[in-house]
Amino acid sequence: MVRSVALLAACLLWAATAQAQSACRLALVLALDVSSSVDAEEYALQRTGLAAALDADEVRHAILTGAGGYVTLAVYEWSGFHQHKLQLDWIALTSHAEIDRAVAALAGMERSHDDFPTSIGPAIGYGATLLKRGPACERRVIDVSGDGVNNYRYGPREAYRHFPLNDVTVNGLVILGDDPGVLSYYGAEVLHGTGAFMVVANGFDEFREAMTKKLYREINDIILGRVPPALHRRAPG
């Protein structure tokens, strides 16, 4: 009798663990700037930096040991109004082997565009459509990196009005350089949703370090403090 109860308890524990592992805790979309302000060397720093950040020990650990289910990832490049390229379609990062696959795909990316303007609104809209056809997850996050402000067609505010983004968090990775207004622009226009935050890279040379910090924080759902009202906006209700 005792043995049967123990066996039943073990089976129930296994079933509960399997169910938790089969749930998705985070759908994460990474959006990389490939507008004309990003030269070939800077693009290479983004490509290799992103692959290295995902491959970092602390990021792998956060992906594979977090409670509540698995992390799924998609990556695309953006620039002009129609210039969006899906570089990594949804992949469930449930093992080191799956992370290895994603790292290899990102390390081998070939740039999709290099002579179009900066259209952040359409970039966010593309991310929304990607999330819509993605897996159902407890949290959904779009991570926009860039070195400039919107300069062609509609901006983030219009995207938040017209795309299904009410329950989506949009974070930013700002790359400082030639555009002095990019930091305040991302804070006022791009950040969106509960717990939205921004990480700053002082040039493309710091992209790898900044992306590693941001991935670790996003995957662990670390909230260091509320975004000040002037820097945190939600979609109009």
Residue 225 has pLDDT above 60, yes or no: no
**pLDDT (tens digit per residue) in 172-219:** 999 999 899 999 999 999 999 999 999 999 999 999 999 999 999 999
pLDDT for residue 228: 41
Q: List own/partner pairs for 196-200 with CB under 8 A and 24 or more apart.
A: 196/169, 196/170, 196/171, 196/172, 196/227, 196/232, 197/171, 197/172, 197/223, 197/224, 197/227, 198/171, 198/172, 198/173, 198/174, 198/231, 199/171, 199/172, 199/173, 199/174, 200/173, 200/174, 200/176
Residue ranges of domains in the chain, CATH in brackets: 27-220 (3.40.50.410)
